[in-house]
């Protein structure tokens, strides 16, 4: 007891887990649950009020992200009838659906997540970093791809610089894949964050392709830091 008669908290006994937050474990769990619930509530409200979400349902697309590729195509004419296309990080399959709509001849995709089948696409559940998974995916093509797409993005942390760096690493991974697999004259499109591709990546892109540009599709939310880099005219590995 202290001089004023109040009991002093002495902390856990030796060997017990220490709680340095000043809150009981149960209280911290409740707070974390409330924060998660509030975040989920805001996400649901945003989804319900998003015109692209409703449009995707009406048009039969699995995700609003399909319109990003459609809008990128409107500006760049990326998708060619009869071409071969690779979609890296293809879940849930919206970009695959768009490619099928434009008459892509051969279409393959890969993602860590399981993806429901898309008619006209050969889909592998696997890792782009695993040569065996990539080889299995590429077995769905009869020749090198004319276009490599990547909508891959790391799970966001809320820290802009960290999220940008993590997504930039995925863009570099996609570019590495393109460098070793694209047909000469082929094209590349990948998600990047904030200011676009890093200076080092831009140097590499300009060395590898004849034209390079950044695009912010209208369907990309105004508050989102995402951009897409589009490179055309692959000079060869």
Instruction: Please check whether residue 146 is in contact with residue 187, taking contact to mean a CB–CB distance below 8 angstroms.
Output: yes
Paired residues of 109 in beta bridges = 87, 123
**Residues near 157 by Cβ (< 8 Å), separated by ≥ 6?**
163, 166
Task: Please measure the distance between the N-terminal and C-terminal CA atoms of the chain and give it in whole angstroms.
Answer: 76
- The b/e string for 37-69 (b: 16+ C-beta within 10 A; e otherwise) is eeeeeeeeeeeeeeebeeebeeeebbbbbbbbb
β-pair type (106-111, 84-88): parallel
What DSSP character marks residue 84?
Answer: E
Tokens 């902390």 locate to 11
Q: How far is CA 137 from CA 151, 169, 175, in A?
A: 17, 21, 17
Active-site annotation holds for 13: no
Instruction: Please check whether residue 143 is in contact with residue 129, taking contact to mean a CB–CB distance below 8 angstroms.
Output: no
Question: Which residue among 18, 191, 216, 232 is the active-site one?
Answer: 191
Residues serving a catalytic function are 191
């Amino acid at each position: 007891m202290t001089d004023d008669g109040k009991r002093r908290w002495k902390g856990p006994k030796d060997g017990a887990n220490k709680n340095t937050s000043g809150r009981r474990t149960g209280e911290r769990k409740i707070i974390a649950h409330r924060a998660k619930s509030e975040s989920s509530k805001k996400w649901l409200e945003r989804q319900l009020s998003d015109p692209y979400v409703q449009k995707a349902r009406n048009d039969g697309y699995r995700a609003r992200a399909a319109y990003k590729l459609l809008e990128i195509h409107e500006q760049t004419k990326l998708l060619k009838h009869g071409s071969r296309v690779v979609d890296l990080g293809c879940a849930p399959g919206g970009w695959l659906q768009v490619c099928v709509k434009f008459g892509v001849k051969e279409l393959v995709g890969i993602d860590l997540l399981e993806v429901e089948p898309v008619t006209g696409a050969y889909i592998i559940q696997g890792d782009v970093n695993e040569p065996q998974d990539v080889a299995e995916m590429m077995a769905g093509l009869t020749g090198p791809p004319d276009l490599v797409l990547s909508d891959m993005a790391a799970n966001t942390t809320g820290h802009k610089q960290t999220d940008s760096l993590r997504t930039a690493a995925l863009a570099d991974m996609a570019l590495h894949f393109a460098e070793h697999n694209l047909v000469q004259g082929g094209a590349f499109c990948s998600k990047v964050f904030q200011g676009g591709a890093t200076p080092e990546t831009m140097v590499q892109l300009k060395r590898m392709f004849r034209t390079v540009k950044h695009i912010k599709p209208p369907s990309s939310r105004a508050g989102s830091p995402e951009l897409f880099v589009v490179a055309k005219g692959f000079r060869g590995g």
